[in-house]
Chains A and B, each alone.
Chain A
Amino acid sequence: MRDYSRQSKDLFQVNSFILNYHFDIGMLRRDIFNLIFNKHLETVSSAVLPDPVVYTPDYVADGAPMEYSFTITMQSKDTPAFLQIGKVKLGLNKGCLFIASLISEREIHTGGKELELILTVSPQPNGGSYAKLIAKDQYGLTLSTLKSTQHLTSDWSGPIDLHKNFTSSPAEGGGLIETEPNQKTTL
């Protein structure tokens, strides 16, 4: 059981100390605390510091995002479908989204149906970028997403090359296809 009588006695002693001590008007609370409990004064700088300033943080003061949309018909999940935008290669490999070395853990099963890849690149401070790659099925259902901050905004600048490995359907042809942002390209 707690010894409340002891606790009351301690409190009485503290209160007596407060009542008997001479406090200067304008003393800081920290000083009073130290006087009572540490029984010594420390010199604390009382220099006036500037008030904090609220401003739009760097991480939201960025440029407009760039959005690209591509439509791909996957014949097989083992058939890689990828494209290169500037210096960055991205797409689908073994049914998983990838952006450069970053690979999604989620495998997409398309059943040979049309798939839409949407890439949004948002410029970030200090030249960085935030890229989001989304795969949607023909009904607009998001099947998988992958986000990357690995690249500079400048890495995404340059020609857009869309590659495809046609091992499963060579009749459709191959090579590079150039696209523009917001342009749908069906392979």
Chain B
Amino acid sequence: MNRRDFVKNSSLTAAAISILPEQSLFANTSAPKLKIAIIGVGLRGQNHLELLLKRDDVELVAICDVDVRMLDTAKNMISKSGKPMPKIFTGESYAWKKLLQIKDLKAVLIATPWEWHKLMIIGALEAGLKYVASEVVIGINLEDHWEVVRAAEKYDAQVMMLENVCYRRDVLAVLNMVRQGIFGEILHLQGGYQHDLRVVKFNDGIKPYGGGVEFNEKGFSEAKWRTNHSVHRNGDLYPTHGIGPVAQCVNINRGNRFIKLSSFATKSRSLHKYIVDNAGENHPNAKVNFRLGDIVTTTISCANGETIILQHDTNSPRPYSLGFRVQGTNGLWMDINNSIYIEGKSKPHAWDSAKEWLDKYDHPLWKKYGNDAQGAGHGGMDFFVLHAFIESAKRGEPTPLDVYDAAAWSAITPLSEQSIELGNETIDFPDFTGGKWMTRQPVFALNDDY
């Protein structure tokens, strides 16, 4: 049964699942375990490693990293878990290619710097793997995104970008409300990545967060590679956390698609200011010219008439917020003030606290797996995104977030860069599905399965 048939028969499936013991979904010792490997066991890879070590339905067969310090931490985590030590691949930048040759390897999870994702995804597909999970994003330029899409099509394999925010509890509750028509017909959406990353982009080369203004060779963890993108690029460098959840609300690539995009960037000030404030004007990094505008705003139009605004704001002092807004003909949700307004239900011109609405429409996935997600990274949503990938791979089903989602969400970066480069020109959004968006049906989070 393919996923489409599975979805069609969701009521039967849900009934069948409901009579199974819940634990049997990932603790069935008689079922063969999914042989999986991780490429990249830095801090993000270690989040995934921790979750994999808790599961009894997977066998971690290999890990790979060039950073000895990160590798040692990962090995300690594995030892403490009592699970067998997997094969270790390290020592050179392309050691991961040897990992991909492991016999019977079924799935791989990639959590490396962005510029490696395309190479590793395509490398895994060429090695014959049918299930490849990659951290966001999947490529740097538009060409990268097409190459990943073409490779996934060529090898008839699943490439899932691990966009965890799609599984955030309030996001899924709001999606549930959208699907039940509470907001009416959806008109406009907002999201973004508004996260003060200055202590991620700069550190002392020893600790991962802050304590200095070093990056590149002298930095540690993400400062070693991520900051360099702020030096050379000006666009929405991290769009997927904002776009993924709202894309699901309007069925992008499944009856709808992005049509046009335009981006605007403010001047770049805050990273330089941070260096000067923390290390003085004479520090060598105070001479670095950062291209990334402090706040980048992107507007996207959709085939079905919706508009989307994304904001990328990682350089300025501010509290964390993804700034979601989902608005339809009946009302709207705004996460920044945790409020909902539904005409005829809310007091006129007054916000309701979102809590009651979100509790009422809590998604079946969270009702079922909320306890399992306790303690998992990023408020539990890391559990769900990994669970979805593993369940898909175990069952041989398409992943609920597929390569077309990955490409469309991730390609916002190069498109926004180009829009800014052309003087905020409105530019066309490529159709990675090649027209299939018109007939593809929604599959994401339709029930409490995965």
Contact = CB atoms under 8 A, between A and B. Distances in A.
B430 A139 contact: yes
Nearest to A144: B422
Interface in A110-158: 134, 136, 139-145
B440 to A, nearest CB: 19
A172 B419 CA distance: 35
B239 interface: no
A122 to B, nearest CB: 14
B143 interface: yes
Given A106-B422, A144-B422, A139 B428 contact: no
A139 B143 contact: yes
B422 A136 contact: no
Interface string A89-110: 0000000000000000010000
Given A134-B428, A139-B430, A140-B428, A145 B422 contact: yes
Nearest to A142: B427
Contact of A139 (B142, B422, B427): B142
Nearest to A145: B425
B422 A141 contact: no
Contacts of A106: 422
Contact of B430 (A140, A143, A144): A140
B202 to A, nearest CB: 32
Nearest to B414: A141
Q: Is the interface of B mostly helix, strand, loop or mixed?
A: helix
Interface residues of B, number: 14
A134 B425 CA distance: 11
Interface string B140-183: 01110110000000000000000000000000000000000000
B146 A142 contact: no
B149 to A, nearest CB: 11
A7 B415 CA distance: 60
Contacts of B430: 139-141
B145 to A, nearest CB: 8
B419 to A, nearest CB: 8
A136 B142 contact: no
B425 A141 contact: no
B234 interface: no
A39 B430 CA distance: 69
Contacts of B427: 141-142, 145
B418 interface: yes
Contacts of B425: 142, 145
A139 B146 contact: yes
A105 B428 CA distance: 20
Contacts of B419: 142
A42 B343 CA distance: 51
Contacts of B145: 139
A106 B421 CA distance: 10
A142 B418 contact: yes
29 contacts: A106-B422, A134-B428, A136-B428, A139-B142, A139-B143, A139-B145, A139-B146, A139-B430, A140-B142, A140-B428, A140-B430, A141-B141, A141-B142, A141-B414, A141-B415, A141-B418, A141-B427, A141-B430, A142-B418, A142-B419, A142-B422, A142-B425, A142-B427, A142-B428, A143-B418, A144-B422, A145-B422, A145-B425, A145-B427
Given A141-B142, A144-B422, 15 more contacts: A106-B422, A134-B428, A136-B428, A139-B142, A139-B146, A139-B430, A140-B142, A141-B415, A141-B418, A142-B418, A142-B419, A142-B425, A142-B427, A143-B418, A145-B422
- Top 10 nearest A-B pairs (CB, nearest first) are A140-B430, A142-B427, A139-B142, A141-B142, A139-B143, A139-B146, A145-B425, A141-B418, A142-B418, A142-B428
